[in-house]
Structure 1
């Protein structure tokens, strides 16, 4: 569409919104502000009811011109993706929607979605299919990154090509196969069309052949050889880097989903189990799924930085960076802005280099919407490596959105844009005709915390019922899916059930300030005022208060720079676990260790006991004596804190394991129960069945992560208490048995 010289109209965009999570209501409100004539949202059957357990809290605050449409589920299995896309397009045709907005999650990074929408003559509000194919798949993205001069983590990114070569030559001798020059020569002698190509070039060509076969519903490589290729890739990396752990990542996915870290010495059986989990979580466990993965070194001491990109296929600009290093189990917890105006020294040089690499990458793939260039920065020497490109709107996009606005100019006409979703809509409609924008600084710093359904150990904790949530603070920007909003008919809160089927993130809370320290102080104030009530609700708010209190104390006592590695949250948990042990010994286990840490560092009594009478004078005296001996200030000194060794025992102290009853198997965690590996597959266990030690009993999905539960010994199942996809709580009896 050509630009109108006087305006950039979007009223006729009529979008169908198919994302889930906080972005869905955010998109509704942005499109409402753009005065679109009509819009719709897509809900799964599970979400499509409002009371008494609202799974789609947005339903109570939708504008009149927003319509609701229902599908069976948000993420179809591979065999039904095309039927699913046909259903979306049928809704668009029937209702007159002219565009589709996918946000994050869902199928937002799947090229099939963008391709189907574009082929139907509709606008896809997000990166095109071409960009997703070039940059969204982690294996192809690493090739592009290398081509523009960016450093990449050592590893294998043509796994299916390697598997095809191993299968064709029937070679599973890793020592023999590790001589790449010899294998390239042997392959060229056996097959025509490969003369003069290097080993890596041959693998890339074979990778494309296998993927083209999958697109044509033809499986060219048996899963056995994909597994062998994974084992060989691990063997090859460990031969060169024997002390490093190695990460296996599905080529599509994000947020920790579809990846596992393998440590040296892991048995072949456990590696295969980890690979199966990667495939299950990335919806790639069926016959014609793309099972390709990236195998790469897992560099332990890193900072996780990313650059927000915007492009129209001809120009590409960066909106500063974000530090997402404070995370646990790949789940981001605290994110803050990085800008050239506020960084100094090596950090500034690193950001400038990353932005330059990101822009070159964006231009190389013809970026035509928003995407995020993700990198890891070595804390020891500041070397940075390309990690992946997220060809979608990131959950944390508002961190950058609060840093800069965008001014588009065409002749004497200009338009100022505040929201990235608005930018995405403009790019979808106007494309190459949209001029390169000017960045307009808005705030010096921004900081975001993710309010997640997590327990004290920062593990997923589904199954609770939120009965009320206070409204956002005057200086808080909050995206909470509408959970905190009142029922418009009664002016009373509506309950929200925390399902185990979805991401643990419930809300995003953001603040802005003149400095990083000011943002930390403001966020502590916001979290302390936040009031959330309900039953069986476990959130990470207390842990966030504890972590931010440690950060604030470090900044004020030692003026420590805001440098965090991805190990930081784990080190904080070690501190909390040590304190929990002492609280247990003094019979003060009812006190949350995260709140105790915050109270010890801030002296704010409201942090320790938000409700009157929750601690008596005797307990308070014991607590003060404990903290005097614990010397928390000494423990958070930067050099002491960063030396804390992260061990599994810390999580076990904060989240004690379930004691199994005699003749009973109890769930070790809350989540969704699966009694089969995939729809249509046989059940793992049936009544009267003999189960051998080590065989799978069931799978628990806890907010995107799958945990396979094995039989601890031979047994015969006598009773089953849950059906497939039921939500179970930690400690629930799954089945009864007798010893075989």
Structure 2
């Protein structure tokens, strides 16, 4: 077996590979840019080599720098992770020429499957069902519009060398096809150094379901069931699960067998994923093959018990698969929530900065439940603008889907992140959404359910009532401590009034609280709930059991009340005496400043272009500027007809969030 491997990647996937290598007794080498010199993967590896400036184009995807790091450390093999050089055939060939093992498929398979145009042709030849589209390269926006019209809208404009949602746009008309072509081309060139574009039919109400395959160098290949990846935003997966709540055994088998046939057609070995679009009648169409480890591989590992990284390393060493298709089963249900450094309240725009608090839930694995968190960050670390905004993958497992959802709910509620915008509230809201719980989802889920963006979850009346009961008990603990301090100072004990008014989520609850053995009895509207908790003031996570059911909320105490995050809702909570509540109802509400006549930069980023001038009249929907952040272009449009009175930024400027780009009359 290899004695030392180099991980040509960063972040959580580099840490993930290091964990398995360590388990196998293999030494590891990390590579890092200037931005990552203090990163977690650098700390975890046995050795680390600096490879250049922060931009990936000057460090992580420069083949010569990786080869130099290999030479300097004597690494015998390279695991590419995902992204960067993971699907670069030239890199795989360069390693082969250097006598270094590539922990992935052969260069020929990467070249055939990594190019989406070629892969679709090969898939069709292998008998795999494919989506209608134009598989030739497209050179201009005019040609893109013409082809899109021939295929029929809606269409998907895609980068041939793309992946991870980069270089992809859906167009519903000629204007969107023209704009989408240029944006896809720009993103593809920036992310992959390859701006080739193709177009295919966009299947409406689709599910994104993928098959995990695993092959060795001896002609053996199996499939490890499927993953449902339909909860997506901007073609980027957010929630994944295994197995799919939609597939039946017959469809699963057909998809798996076609995936294996395609893998064998290109002599595939190592782990890989064949992605499909599945319609409401369970018709499935080949989308692409990712010749690498997928981001969402943990859910497959959780339901099969197979360590995919370990299998990849063994295959690269030349070992035969120890498993046959009959050995692969489905044990329970697993769900993954991707934690992104992005602000869901600002249309999921990227957020950067320092993690002033990062406290994930404790990892645990029992026969009845499991929590796993794959991460590459730590408290005090910096979230950089140069790389993908994903900072962790929180996974849950349980015997059934509903149980796995419940485990995920509690884990999300107990995940603390401060210092940056993040999508934890959104992930929590999805877990409670009736459509997700029922399994009635598609890739349009976010667009359909949050058409105006995410504004926080709305808790059901019963959830608000449980939270009010818990808040009353927490308040009694705070008041009790204050009474003890008062008594110590004045040689008497202050009486704690049992009557309180709880204001949260736009609702008001009159409560009466009584301390009992092991907890508190809280009476609301004539009904009494038992609250048990060991919470003490100062703890930012408040855990309680309300009527036998666990409740976990993040609490920040402040002047005039507390801020509580629970099940995707971000609430201001006040626990007042009846007289305080009476007076509070008379207080005026502070209004936010008027920014309706300004275009604000929605995230820290680089101005790619400013498309209007001072004095110009703009129409609703017209492009005003383009901002690039974390390798994604964000087009800013006019919300209504207006006249530009002042332009404060130009192409090439780096702006902070809420900087004023331009002003209107």
Match of 2:151 in 1: 237
Shift of 1:658: 11
Identify which of 240, 243, 250 aligns with 1:338.
Answer: 243
More helix by share: 1
Match of 2:29 in 1: 40
d(CA) in 2 for partners of 1:616, 1:499 = 44
Matches within 5 A, 1:277-296: 277-283=183-189, 290-296=194-200
Match of 2:77 in 1: 99
Identify which of 464, 467, 470 aligns with 1:605.
Answer: 467
User: Is the Cα contact below 8 Å between 1:549 and 1:598 reproduced in 2?
Assistant: no
1:427 paired to 2:302? no
Matches within 5 A, 1:538-553: 538-551=421-434
d(CA) in 2 for partners of 1:708, 1:728 = 16
Shift of 1:599: 6.6
Match of 2:88 in 1: 110
Shift of 1:333: 1.9
Higher RCO, Cα 8 Å, sep 6+:
1
Superposed CA offset, 1:647-684 (max 9, x none): xxxxxxxxxx997687x7531x10321457xxxxxxx7
Matches within 5 A, 1:564-603: 564-573=441-450, 593-594=456-457, 596-597=458-459, 600=462
TM-score by length of 2: 0.73
SS of equivalent residue, structure 1 residue 271: helix
- Structure 2 residues not aligned, in runs of 5+: 365-369, 479-499, 511-591
Superposed CA offset, 1:267-309 (max 9, x none): 3xx53332121112112699xx643323111112111100001
Matches within 5 A, 1:711-722: 720=649
d(CA) in 1 for partners of 2:107, 2:129 = 26
Distance 1:368 1:87, change over 3 A: same
Superposed CA offset, 1:244-282 (max 9, x none): 311100011222210111103x33xx5333212111211
SS of equivalent residue, structure 1 residue 291: coil
Match of 2:53 in 1: 72
1:478 paired to 2:478? no
SS of equivalent residue, structure 2 residue 105: coil
d(CA) in 1 for partners of 2:262, 2:384 = 38
Superposed CA offset, 1:174-199 (max 9, x none): xxxxxxxxxxxxxxxxxxxxxxxxxx
SS of equivalent residue, structure 1 residue 543: helix
1:326 paired to 2:231? yes
Match of 1:263 in 2: 172
Shift of 1:428: 1.4
Distance 1:331 1:158, change over 3 A: same
Match of 1:403 in 2: 303
Matches within 5 A, 1:72-221: 72-73=53-54, 75-76=56-57, 84-159=62-137
1:62 paired to 2:44? yes
Distance 1:609 1:323, change over 3 A: farther
SS of equivalent residue, structure 1 residue 363: helix
Shift of 1:144: 1.2
d(CA) in 1 for partners of 2:645, 2:186 = 27
More strand by share: 2
SS of equivalent residue, structure 2 residue 387: coil
d(CA) in 2 for partners of 1:135, 1:719 = 45
User: Is the Cα contact below 8 Å between 2:157 and 2:170 reproduced in 1?
Assistant: yes
- Structure 1 residues not aligned, in runs of 5+: 1-8, 51-55, 161-222, 239-243, 406-417, 484-493, 581-591, 626-656, 677-683
User: Is the Cα contact below 8 Å between 1:501 and 1:671 reproduced in 2?
Assistant: no
Shift of 1:622: 3.1
SS of equivalent residue, structure 2 residue 57: coil
User: Is the Cα contact below 8 Å between 1:546 and 1:597 reproduced in 2?
Assistant: no
User: Is the Cα contact below 8 Å between 1:443 and 1:512 reproduced in 2?
Assistant: no
Match of 1:311 in 2: 215
